[in-house]
A and B are shown apart, each in its own frame.
Chain A
Amino acid sequence: MSRHLPVAGSLAEPLHAVGARFDTPDALIAAVRSIRAAGYNAVDCYTPYPIHGLAEELKAPKSLISFLVLGGAVTAIALALTMQLVPSSLIYPLVVGGKPVNFSGLPQYVPITVALTLMLGALAAVKGMILLGGMPRLNHPMLAWDLFAKDASRGFFLAVSARDPNFTLEKVTELLETSGAGDITAIHLEPSDDE
């Protein structure tokens, strides 16, 4: 702690990340760019609203959501067609309104298939978003930082994780300072309540 950074969490616990606050989205994006350029990959941002271009600067990998939605949709099509065709065409062929029970009667099965496809696709999207965001969790190490926990909506926050192989506290602090960050803080984990 040569620079006497403000500390959040407990000093007895390992360092989680160095956090910083920016006043504008542009400053945040510029800082992300310079930190990525310096070779740090374990960078994360916390902003009150989505910012265009930030994901590109963070080089976030393509989200899995679209595959989940496709999976949900294909499952739904298979499920809906099976549930309709197997009983009413194979097991107990039932002629309703003179409609053929074979393949040429397909139009009657389409509305349910479309509805189920939409439903499972949408569910996959929403649940996938929640799960991929790591959502059901009770705490987050960043919440050890009081400023962040209380005022996360009043600034654009950036955290460089201490797990980054290149991580050194001094260098990261220096980089953040030169990119105009405020409230640079060393965020330690909080002692667990287990004992």
Chain B
Amino acid sequence: MSDETTHLPPAETFDYKHVGGRFIGLCVTAIVTLLISLVLGIGNPQQFAFSWLFAGWFFVTILIGSLFWVIVHHATDAAWSVGIRRQLENISCQLPLLALLLLPLLFVAPKVWTWMAESPTHNHELAEKAAYLNVDFFWIRTAVYFLLFGIVALLFRRNSLAQDQDGAAIHSIRNRRIAFFIIPFGAIALTFWSFDWMMGLNIRFVSTIFGIYNFAGAVLAALCVIILLANALRSAGYLKRVLTAQHNFAFGKLLLAFTLFWGWIAFVQYMLIWYANIPEETSFYVLRSTGSWKVLGILLVVGHFIIPFCLLLFRGPKANARFLGVVAFWILTMHLLDVYMLVLPVLHPEGFQPAVLDVVALLAIGSTLGAFFLKGLGDSPLWPSRDPRLAEAVNFND
């Protein structure tokens, strides 16, 4: 054991020479696309509202998914994920910024969550649900989601950074306590968050598994992002000591597991609604399987489940970083389609109708988050350099 601790890899800090012009490019993209979305948004506030929600929810799922991996790491006292934990922390700590970026939704909310514009006195369904589904409570809940997850993400990172300074195990133990605390509350919060933001697009639709469906997509998307990020950092020459082929193999197995998880949850939601055949519930799928939406729906089933499942089934290529990168990018694209299919069919029930704002909103939020992420990347060592389990993580053998 003493051998291992004396051979711990020295801490690496990100050097900005690797980003160079790309950082400027991200900043310019962010500013330009934010301005374009402002201009286009004033012209077509309804399209703007839906596009912004689509892009926003895509990034919410990635950030919450990253937070989930941090929570799992601490709750299970894992060793293998020490090497990627700092990046997961960096990603999930973008939550306050994302909250700021999603502020425009405050002004266009009734355009996307149409129930807000309706009066319970004229809508019996809304009146029945008014105790939960009223505007004030909606925004209070939204604030609670951001506060809960944001504070927890920041606490994880603060303890983790403190450990970089003194190497004390108490920080790991504190983080484990936070993880135990957040698991039940976080599960409930994410469920209701997806109820409020996604299911609330059509208040007649109910599905108890909906929260888990969004959770499955979020966890998978975050895993894809961390795989791509790990590949990018390794190709720039970092993390090579702490992330080996064994870690790639772990990534590959988790990708397969969560692809199966997403596929099963998606199927179970579909099958139960299809079988029970109750109009309020089937409307969700009827909308998404008519006209050109049907093509995208089939693409989602094939692309989000069948293709990754077949690719990841074999043992050999799963240890290959390049292969994993390609699969992760593909799944991430499919997750984007998944979120798109949750949001946009409500606006265009007649069929798929691409809008410039969809792309612009995605670029605006994405490049802003990316720019801030890159800016903060060099502030701390690239992995928790004095984590008690670092030696175990480096020598992880799958």
Contacts and interface: CB of A to CB of B under 8 A. Distances in A.
Interface of A: 52-53, 66, 97-99, 107-108, 110-111, 114
B271 A110 contact: yes
A97 B397 CA distance: 52
B107 interface: no
A122 B201 CA distance: 42
Given A52-B397, A110-B267, A66 B274 contact: no
A107 B270 contact: yes
Interface in B264-311: 264, 267, 270-271, 274-275, 277
10 contacts: A53-B397, A97-B275, A97-B277, A98-B277, A99-B275, A107-B271, A107-B274, A107-B275, A108-B271, A114-B264
Contacts of B275: 97, 99, 107-108
A66 B314 CA distance: 9
B273 to A, nearest CB: 10
Contacts of B264: 114
Nearest to A99: B275
Given A52-B397, A97-B275, A98-B277, A66 B315 contact: yes
B271 to A, nearest CB: 5
Contacts of B271: 107-108, 110-111
B29 to A, nearest CB: 43
Contacts of B277: 97-98
Contacts of A114: 264
Nearest to A96: B275
A39 to B, nearest CB: 28
Nearest to B264: A114
A57 B88 CA distance: 36
A114 B263 CA distance: 12
Interface in B382-397: 397
A99 B272 CA distance: 13
Contacts of B274: 107
Nearest to A70: B313
B313 to A, nearest CB: 9
Contacts of B267: 107, 110
Interface in B302-344: 315
Contacts of A108: 271, 275
A111 B277 CA distance: 17
A111 B274 CA distance: 13
Nearest to A66: B315
Nearest to B276: A97
A111 B264 CA distance: 10
**For the complex of A and B, 6 pairs with smallest distance between CB atoms:** A52-B397, A107-B271, A107-B274, A108-B275, A110-B267, A110-B271
Contacts of A98: 277
Interface string B240-279: 0000000000000000000000001001001100110100
A37 B315 CA distance: 28
Interface in B116-141: none
Contacts of B270: 107
Given A107-B267, A107-B275, A108-B271, 9 more contacts: A53-B397, A98-B277, A99-B275, A107-B270, A107-B271, A110-B267, A110-B271, A111-B271, A114-B264
A97 B270 CA distance: 16
Interface in B357-384: none
Contacts of A110: 267, 271
A102 B367 CA distance: 48
B266 to A, nearest CB: 12
Contacts of B315: 66
A114 B265 CA distance: 13
A142 B275 CA distance: 59
Nearest to B315: A66
Nearest to B246: A52
A114 to B, nearest CB: 8
Contacts of A107: 267, 270-271, 274-275
